[in-house]
Amino acid sequence: MILVKSLAGKPWVWSFLGALLVWLATIAFTGGYGAGGMVTAALSLAVFTVIVGVGQMFVITLGPGNVDLSLPANIGLASAVAMKVMAGSDSMIVVGLLAALACGAAIGAVNYLLIWALRIPPIIATLSASFIIQSIDISYGRGLQIKPPPGFADFTNWQILGVPVLALLTVLFTIGAAIAMQRMIYGRSVLAIGQNIRAAWLAGVNVGRIRFLTYTLSGALGGIDGALLAGYFRGANVDIGNEYLLASIAVVVIGGTSVAGGKANVPGVWGAALFLVLLLTMLNTFGVSAGVRLLLTGLIIVGVITAAGGEKAVR
């Protein structure tokens, strides 16, 4: 009973609960067929949302107005950069991954530079940056689909007993992110800025540096995500990151991170990512059209924000 109570107090429980319910509904519909395969597929796909979701979570936690809208373009460009650097050769995998990471980090740094030097709101800065990035991507990738090296493609699809290795690694990464958020000076500073940027400055937090690091981190995570996506889907592509604009914000919000900033929730990002992927699977299984699928996703996000907004009325 006590366990249930303490669990119910954690906002991330609900996203996992939602994922579980959706999964149960789907296997009830299929009569139990494909239950295990569904979980494996969900884990494989959720990884990509979790990686960018964590980056987005740090940015959103910086407080109202902070959001990284350049992630889709970033993912697209980084996927092309990674595949070109790897050039189909297994020996270049690590170099390619580092190139994607650097490309993403550079995009993040430029984002913050725009915000800081030109004093434009993050929404505008990251959105306009994404147009520039997309143009670079189109001229750089020339619209070609570049294949990943076979070793890299195998790695992104590698499973042990039905559990994708990439998912295991991502779990480790999210544990690290959670520790950074709660126990490191960097994370504490992000939380402080999100609650009250002026008070954070007056309490000695180096606001400029922390914001710079956060946008760079978000960009770097977008970059690595692009490389992994290109491996998983066997090819880079300008549009490969398109769905991660909505998804990265959605998992942050559904996962229990406060849109008002200053309150982050790492496990919730996992729950929400699984929930969204399973929801898609369920709607596909039910034979619902793509339009209805998007409609439902949108309604769920609005619903979660409304529900989460209620408890925040304390201030």
- Contacting positions for another protein (CB under 8 A): 179, 183-185, 188-189, 191-192, 195-196, 198-200, 202-206, 262-263, 314-315
Length of the chain: 315
- Which CB, 9 or 287, lies closer to another protein? 9
- Which CB, 192 or 282, lies closer to another protein? 192
Question: Could you tell me the smallest distance in angstroms from the CB atom of residue 109 to another protein?
Answer: 21
- Which CB, 93 or 197, lies closer to another protein? 197
Question: Could you tell me the smallest distance in angstroms from the CB atom of residue 190 to another protein?
Answer: 12
Give CA angle at 268 (262, 272), nearest 5°.
125
Phi, psi of 160 (to 5 degrees): -120, 115
- Which CB, 200 or 249, lies closer to another protein? 200
- Which CB, 263 or 293, lies closer to another protein? 263
85: left (phi over 0), alpha (psi -120 to 50) or beta: alpha
- Which CB, 157 or 195, lies closer to another protein? 195
Question: What gap in Å lies between CA 159 and CA 168, rounded to an integer?
Answer: 10
Give which of 146, 125, 126, 109 is closest to 236, Cα–Cα. Answer: 146
Dihedral of CA 143/233/104/206: which sign? Answer: positive
Question: Could you tell me the smallest distance in angstroms from the CB atom of residue 65 to another protein?
Answer: 17
Question: What gap in Å lies between CA 306 and CA 213, rounded to an integer?
Answer: 31
Question: What gap in Å lies between CA 294 and CA 289, rounded to an integer?
Answer: 9
Question: Could you tell me the smallest distance in angstroms from the CB atom of residue 116 to another protein?
Answer: 14
Question: Could you tell me the smallest distance in angstroms from the CB atom of residue 159 to another protein?
Answer: 33
Question: Could you tell me the smallest distance in angstroms from the CB atom of residue 314 to another protein?
Answer: 8
By CB atoms closer than 10 A (0-12, 13-18, 19+), residue 139 is: exposed
Give me the amino acid identity at 290. Answer: A
